[in-house]
Amino acid sequence: MKLTNDTVAEIVFTLTSDSFEGEIIEKVKETDPFEFLFGSQVLLQNFENKLEGLHQGEDFKFFLTKAEAYGNYLPEMVITIEKQLITEQIEDPEMLEEELQVDNYIPMLDPDGNELSGRILEIGEDMVTLDFNHPLADRDLYFVGKVLSLRPASADEIMKGHAIHVTQWQDAGPDEKVNCHA
């Protein structure tokens, strides 16, 4: 079997920036592999293009230029908005304090109704500065990994557009009888 559309893959990889020996951004290990439905348009298209056709057990090593990945960092994607626009969306005061912190990501809607995540850069008295650039913008990305397993996707997975994880239950102990007293 090879990696094609409507195939569920488990892969492991190390992702570095700017070279194969560069800063490690992410390391996915065999104990917790990355599972995805190939062709579901969730991952970068260029990432999937590099993996397409690989077989189970096959190693891979490739890079994506910043243009193929998340593009250039765009200063115009940093905006300052009124703090009230964020605070009125969070009803619970305890959640507001937890969510409204520098480096947290806040989900927002663009004028077309698409959800974007903005990283909080600065919080002022009345204004908040958010960065809507992808965290990996302006970086060439280098991947080294292996395809651990492949299987055909189920009809349900294809319909939902993602792999469905089967929960593995460990021994939770003996069942206990419930005593009800009236």
pTM of the predicted model as reported, rounded to 2 decimal places: 0.79
CATH of 7-70+137-160, one of 3.10.50.40, 3.40.50.300, 3.60.150.10, 3.40.640.10: 3.10.50.40
24-66 pLDDT, tens digit each: 999 999 999 999 999 988 889 999 999 999 999 999 999 999 9
Angle (CA) 165-169-171 rounded to 5° is 165
One digit per residue, the tens of pLDDT, for the chain of length 182 reads: 999 999 999 999 999 999 999 999 999 999 999 999 999 888 899 999 999 999 999 999 999 999 999 999 999 999 999 998 888 777 777 787 888 899 999 888 778 888 888 999 999 999 999 999 999 999 999 999 999 999 999 898 888 888 886 544 444 444 444 444 44
Query: HEC string of 22-91?
Result: CEEEEEECCCCCEEEECCCCCCCHHHHHHHCCCECCCEEEEEECCCCCCCCCCHHHEEEEEHHHHHCCCC
Q: Which fold is adopted by the domain 75-131? A: Thrombin, subunit H (2.40.10)
